[in-house]
Amino acid sequence: MASAVNAVAAASSAASLAVSAGVSGRGGVSATALPLRRLEARSAFTGRSLLPHVAPAASRNQRKAPSKFGVRAYEWHEYDPNEELAELDIREWPYKKFVEETLEAFPEKMIADVEEARVLYESGYTYVDVRPALELQEVGKVVNSVNVPLYNAKRVYSKAEHKKVVQKEENKDFMKQFEKKFPNKSAKLVIACSDGQTYSMPALEMLDEAGYTNLVALKGGYYAWFRVFDNKLNRRRSGDYAEDFRHDAGSAGIHASGAGFEKMDAIEQWVPPSY
């Protein structure tokens, strides 16, 4: 890890010096050097580098652009987190090593955490939600997921409680509906409910008995997924909440970012509804 950290720091320093060399300034210090270092640190995990890539010496003269400020022309490039941080064992999507290991492990591993499930989802597995349709409508769902409810639910007025309550009943057509949507028994499927237990376990048993061979259960269900990814599939960790894998404190979530508990994402305080 130390070598990876040193490599990133060296890259940041080299980029800053390169820009400094191409900008006219007093005292030989570029006004852009320090901001660029900050930009590099902030953009390391955004997927887009804010630092310029200086062209090789052989072609550098051909890429100079005339300017009264004396600024060189630079070739900008996309940042690839797998290049400079290859030595770090980052266990999350979309890091290449983690993706490769996950795809090799499933479907035999059978139970996937949220990061593994995201890898499978992006590689072609279908996210199948077996919660009642009412829950999807009121709580939310994963983009492009398919709903085959193990139970049906509706809200009815209760005279005893003087309010509407959820009334559930078993979906007797569950298997018929499932086989209609997934006639291929070798389809790659991630089965999920609200918490990974309530509906998923009985559904998986039924599907296994029916002959489906590529089944994966989502540990923690939709609620676990929702704490990590929003409804547009964006990772919730961002900005001041971002975990800096190069921080001296190591990989430790909100602590490593130095953000402090007062800046924690509101999702950490979210209480899942009860049905």
**What's the pLDDT at 127?**
98
**Tens digits of per-residue pLDDT, 44-94?**
444 444 444 444 444 444 444 444 444 444 455 455 555 555 556 788 999
Residues contacting 248, CB < 8 A, separation 6+: none
Residue intervals of the chain classified under CATH 3.40.250.10 are 96-235
pLDDT of 134 over the 60 cut: yes
Check residues 16 and 188 and name the one with the higher pLDDT: 188
Q: Count CB neighbours of 142 within 10 A.
A: 22
**Tens digits of per-residue pLDDT, 203-222?**
999 999 999 999 999 999 99
**Tens digits of per-residue pLDDT, 39-48?**
444 444 444 4
Mean pLDDT within 264-273: 63
**Dihedral in degrees, nearest 10, Cα atoms 175, 181, 185, 190:** -90
**Tens digits of per-residue pLDDT, 113-128?**
999 999 999 999 999 9
Q: What are the residues facing 164 on neighbouring strands? A: 157
Place of tokens 């949507």: 181
- Do residues 57 and 40 make contact, with C-beta atoms less than 8 angstroms apart? no
**What's the pLDDT at 90?**
86
Determine the longest span between alpha carbons in the chain, in angstroms.
83
Q: How many Cα atoms within 13 Å fall on the side-chain side of residue 5?
A: 10
- Band of residue 165 on the pLDDT scale cut at 50, 70, 90: confident
Please say whether the structural domain 96-235 has been given the CATH code 3.40.250.10. Answer: yes
Question: How far is 194 from 224, CA to CA, in rounded Å?
Answer: 8
**What's the pLDDT at 148?**
98
Check residues 42 and 225 and name the one with the higher pLDDT: 225
pLDDT of 33 over the 60 cut: no
Q: Count CB neighbours of 275 within 10 A.
A: 15
Whole-model pTM: value is 0.61
